[in-house]
Amino acid sequence: MATAKRALLTGVRGQDGSYMAEFLLEKGYEVYGLVRRTTSSNYQNIEHIKDKVTLYEGDMTDDGSLIAALQAVQPNEVYNFAAQSFVPTSFSQPVYTGEVTALGVMRMLEAVRQVNPKIKFYQASSSEMYGKVENTPQNETTPFRPRSPYGVAKVYGHYATINYRESYDMFAVSGISFNHESPRRGVEFVTRKITHGVSNIAKGKSKVLTLGNLDAKRDWGYAKDFVEAMWLMLQADRPQDYVIGTGESHSVREFVEEAFRCVDLKWEDYVKVDDSFFRPAEVYLLQSDPSIIKANLGWEPKTTFKGLVQLMMEADLAKD
């Protein structure tokens, strides 16, 4: 009988980490998660699978803890989802964002190289690396022009991954994921802020939803669909970076309209725009061209934009 594959996930308690843990467990993997010691640890996203995932304490700013986890687990695959991933916070905490989101990738790559360079490594890159885009849609060769410390940090992690692949012949890849959402998104992110806010309005708990730039356009997919693409990248014959997205772009306003439609309310009666929610440097339009991953790995998203808004609304409406 074949030995089960082992995977180590950083950021296992987050949106992507929790969906990936579920996905890998269904595939018969032994799943291990790296968790940072905090006073208010939140295990909500993995509560239902906590007994099936082995957790190790570690931190992306501490080399020794990464090496220790790799030595203990001896994984076949590592998925790096750990990051300070909220763009507005990256403006107020740029150095910390760099430590975790940029240098953290380098630390993990170096730890993999030292412990076992045969371990396959997945880096969660981001469409925020494109920033002020020069052409639309964006593909694997579109230049990066990041517009936030988060985007800058992700570019560093992206090129670090390429560098280790080319320098040490490691199976290290980056998936350039466009916006991917779910009911597990933090309420500080605009999509979840909308669905959480609209559900509160529908329940009579609040009367207004305050947002920033309604004209910003994003390529929004469902995180649960995206983790399959990430897994497929590590099953391929050779390491290659891919754009992961839906190929469609929708404005924040469209997301708002769709969310209010789910509860039969007119959004104009409840939404207020506040300039303080605008970014210092705005990213106006992101839209993916996922044709290469579709052609090479056969992946495409299963969930439509309307379907995504609906499932997020249903989840928030079901909460107390």
Cβ(192)–Cβ(312) under 8 Å? Answer: yes
pLDDT value at position 1?
Answer: 59
pLDDT value at position 158?
Answer: 98
pLDDT value at position 124?
Answer: 98
Burial of residue 43 (CB within 10 Å: 0-12, 13-18, 19+) is middle
pLDDT value at position 200?
Answer: 97
Enumerate residue ranges in the chain where pLDDT < 50.
none
pLDDT value at position 72?
Answer: 98
| SS3 label, residue 77 | strand
Q: How far apart are CA 27 and CA 136, in angstroms?
A: 36
pLDDT value at position 134?
Answer: 83
Q: Which of 21, 112, 116 is nearest to 66 (CA)?
A: 112
Please give the class, per CATH, of domain 187-218+248-286+303-318. Answer: alpha beta
Q: How far is CA 168 from the centre of its chain?
A: 26
pLDDT value at position 183?
Answer: 97
pLDDT value at position 3?
Answer: 86
What homologous superfamily is domain 6-180+220-244 in, according to CATH?
NAD(P)-binding Rossmann-like Domain (3.40.50.720)
Structural domain boundaries in the chain: 6-180+220-244, 187-218+248-286+303-318
